[in-house]
Amino acid sequence: MTLLIPIGLLLTATLLVAVLHWVRPGFGLSWLGALGLAFLAWLALIFLGTRLPESWLPLANDFPFQASTTLFLLDAISWPYAVMLTTLAVAVMLTEAARTQYKFNPMSWSSTMLMTAAGLVAVMAGNPFTLAIGWTAVDVVELAIMLSGAAEQRLSERIVVAFGVRVIGTLLMIFGMSISRLPGDTFDLSLLSETGILFFILACGLRLGILPLHQPFSQEPRLRRGLGNMLRLVPPAAALVCAARLPASTSTLLSSGWIFWLSGLLGLAVVYGSVMWLSAKNELEGRPFWLIGWSGLAMICILHGHPQASLAWGAALLLPGSLLFLYSARSVRLVLLPALGFWAISGLPFSMTASGWAGVLDEGFSLWNIFMVVSVALFLTGYIRHVFREEMAFSEVDRWAQAVYPAGLLLMALMPVYFLIWGWEGSAVLGSWWAGLTAVVLSVAVSWFFGRPNPQAETTLEATSHWAEDLTSPLLERIAPFLRLDWFYSGLWSLYRGLRWLLNAWTRLLEGDGGVLWAMVLLALLVSIISGLSL
């Protein structure tokens, strides 16, 4: 039952904030309630990390039935992701203090707690059945939140497309386990057949929260940086934790042909994500491409038979990424915090991502290694560029918030250090030192060369911020609509509208004056078909 404590605390926070907003509207009590309960959930998971593995099997004294399968499991794979999700929830609430100049809405805090709780259910799922429930919970919560904030039909359609993609991913996971005859009470994915593994990988890919690339949400900075960050990052966390459970023998269970093509597609996704991240107008516009790149690196590790190495890239996606996405009030005094985030994703020896190189790079010198190192260098360059982009000044924040806001950033900056000491096995390693060093040198050199002060620019930050956008925009303007798959989504909605028109036309036909006649014709046709089958 101890595994349910963090989920229970977050659900309590969801309800408490909603009740306080209705009974006593205001900022103080609702914010303190959400922050306090989220912090307790974080502490509970930190404590549970000292007792791994932990599982929960419902017994008769817990429920009126007795289950024969583990519903929730906290082990070396799920625990880091569970801690990272609750860390994000706490950080969102702490950094929310710097966005009080916008009209605050405590219901967004309630939604943040609910989304985090749904993510924990998926992350700590102990069997495929619970996983399907957790994934569905994440989808339903996200759908409800997104539709409530969509003001245009076009945005609602894209939200429904995203929901449909996730549901298809869940169905593919169930189908892959069914055709492999995997027992429903186990996560022993080594029993999956080759076809089952392919379906499972495809399911995780669809559930990464990448498609559609530009998931619509409110343009308010408060929501995009707070609740919007949770909506973006919970789905990939729930998918990557399951992909990391694939056995190290995945590289041998799949044929070399599948490994080649899947790795190639993921490699292209990493390169594409790094270029688009570097050229994005700001970090929020580039967030989908951040997800593409780091998720692609994590999935490559799994295909290469290093599922443990995928944890490093997944952690880079969540922690240093969120540190930048929540970095809304900026100051020279705070630059050390994103600098720690840069170090975490650098791949340098004993950084958080140093252990990830083992699952990405080939042995020896190869064109593949060059592309991977350059892609990471582009992500680092974009990170530097977005850190120095002009934003709201820290001095404009309220005095009380100037003490609270940095605490949220500091928490995310220190968690990579925490995972190096008490994280997953092999998290603190030397790694491929040459790859990390090359990526850092390239990123710093490119940033310095193109970010030098321009006499025509008003400030140094302006020059640093716009060089990548100006350099890549002519080409990207031509190919971005194709790469975003806008044509694919338009085709899907055209098909949907066509089927809806046919269904409405058929309904009007049956409900009209000739409806009874058509019903009799259909009944006669059905009777004749049944009679023919019986003969």
> What's the whole-model pTM score?
0.84
- The verdict on residue 184 lying in a domain is no
Q: Where are the alpha helices (DSSP H) in 49-190?
A: 78-95, 106-123, 128-149, 153-179
Region class of 360: left (phi > 0), else alpha (psi between -120 and 50), else beta: alpha
pLDDT band of residue 59 (cuts 50, 70, 90) is low
Q: What are phi and psi of 211, to 5 degrees?
A: -100, 135
For residue 152, the model assigns a pLDDT of 58
- The verdict on residue 530 lying in a domain is yes
Look-up: residue for tokens 């999935």?
299
Mean pLDDT value across residues 280-289: 86
Q: Which residues of 111-121 are buried (b: 16+ CB within 10 A; e: fewer)?
A: bbbbbbbbbbb
The whole-angstrom separation of Cα 86 and Cα 117 is 9
Question: What pLDDT, in 10s, does the model give residues 163-186?
Answer: 888 888 888 888 887 776 655 555
Report which of residues 218 and 196 the model is more confident about. 196
- In this structure, are 228 and 313 located in the same domain? no
- In this structure, are 405 and 509 located in the same domain? no
For residue 462, the model assigns a pLDDT of 46
* Encoded tokens for 409: 């950033």
- In this structure, are 216 and 253 located in the same domain? no
- In this structure, are 302 and 436 located in the same domain? yes
Is the backbone peptide bond immediately before 338 cis, with ω within 30 degrees of 0? Answer: no
- In this structure, are 298 and 391 located in the same domain? yes
- In this structure, are 418 and 497 located in the same domain? no
Strand partners, 72: 56, 125
Is the backbone peptide bond immediately before 53 cis, with ω within 30 degrees of 0? Answer: yes
DSSP 512: S
Report which of residues 361 and 21 the model is more confident about. 361
- The verdict on residue 408 lying in a domain is yes
pLDDT band of residue 121 (cuts 50, 70, 90) is very high
- From 420, 443, 472, the end of a domain falls on 472
pLDDT band of residue 522 (cuts 50, 70, 90) is low
Residue pair 77/108 in contact (Cβ under 8 Å)? The answer is: no
Check pLDDT > 90 for residue 373. Answer: yes
- The verdict on residue 159 lying in a domain is no
- In this structure, are 526 and 433 located in the same domain? no
Residue pair 87/116 in contact (Cβ under 8 Å)? The answer is: no
- The verdict on residue 262 lying in a domain is yes
For residue 479, the model assigns a pLDDT of 55
- In this structure, are 233 and 374 located in the same domain? no
- In this structure, are 228 and 254 located in the same domain? no
For residue 458, the model assigns a pLDDT of 45
- The verdict on residue 62 lying in a domain is yes
Task: Give me the percent of the chain exceeding a pLDDT of 70.
Answer: 74
- In this structure, are 339 and 261 located in the same domain? yes
Render 347-388 in DSSP notation, one character per residue: --TTSTTGGGGGGTPPSSS-HHHHHHHHHHHHHHHHHHHHHT
Mean pLDDT value across residues 409-424: 90
Residue pair 6/79 in contact (Cβ under 8 Å)? The answer is: no
- In this structure, are 253 and 108 located in the same domain? no
- The verdict on residue 137 lying in a domain is yes
- The verdict on residue 178 lying in a domain is no
Number of compact structural domains in the chain: 3
Question: What pLDDT, in 10s, does the model give residues 491-513?
Answer: 656 666 677 677 677 666 656 65
User: 366 lies in which domain range?
Assistant: 248-472
- Spell out where 178-278 has E strands: none
Residue pair 357/301 in contact (Cβ under 8 Å)? The answer is: no
Which contiguous run of DSSP H or E holds residue 209? none
- In this structure, are 345 and 420 located in the same domain? yes
